[in-house]
């Protein structure tokens, strides 16, 4: 199941559990914290630019540390802080919701 937001040129397919595919990855003994958005379809660079512009207010300390990188044509890696909940809230505000699975 996937959700399409008509105002954006990308959409994000939910994972098999019905959740938004936003994951964390901690590396280097806890000093490097990555947030990954998987299953992005459409224009991945548009999602990266939208995140850079509107996840945090302009010139805030978080916005200055934020780095977004597209990998593997369907995944986005966000570096610079522990922002998984911020990313999920941002996606929800843009119209992407947790999917419901009908069994």
A 10 A CB-CB count for 55 gives: 19
Identify whether the C-beta of residue 65 lies closer than 8 Å to the C-beta of residue 52. no
In tens, the pLDDT along 4-45 reads: 445 778 989 888 888 899 999 999 988 899 999 999 999 999
User: Once rounded to an integer, what is the mean pLDDT over residues 87-97?
Assistant: 90
In tens, the pLDDT along 57-77 reads: 988 999 999 999 999 889 999
pLDDT at 100: 57
- Residue 50 CA to residue 32 CA, distance in Å, equals 23
Identify whether the C-beta of residue 102 lies closer than 8 Å to the C-beta of residue 6. no
Q: Does domain 2-93 have CATH number 3.30.780.10?
A: yes
pLDDT at 66: 95
A 10 A CB-CB count for 85 gives: 10
Identify whether the C-beta of residue 25 lies closer than 8 Å to the C-beta of residue 78. no
All structural domains of the chain with their residue ranges: 2-93
Is the pLDDT at 99 greater than 90, yes or no?
no
């Amino acid at each position: 199941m996937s959700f399409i937001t008509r105002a954006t040129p990308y959409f994000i397919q939910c994972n098999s559990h019905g959740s938004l595919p936003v994951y964390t990855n901690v590396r280097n003994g806890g000093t490097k914290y990555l947030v990954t958005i998987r299953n992005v379809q459409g224009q991945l660079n548009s999602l990266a630019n939208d995140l850079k512009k509107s996840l945090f207010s302009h010139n805030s300390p978080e916005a200055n540390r934020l780095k977004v990188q597209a990998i593997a044509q369907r995944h986005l890696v966000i570096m610079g802080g522990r922002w998984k909940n911020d990313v999920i809230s941002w996606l929800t505000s843009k119209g992407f919701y947790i999917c419901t699975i009908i069994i």
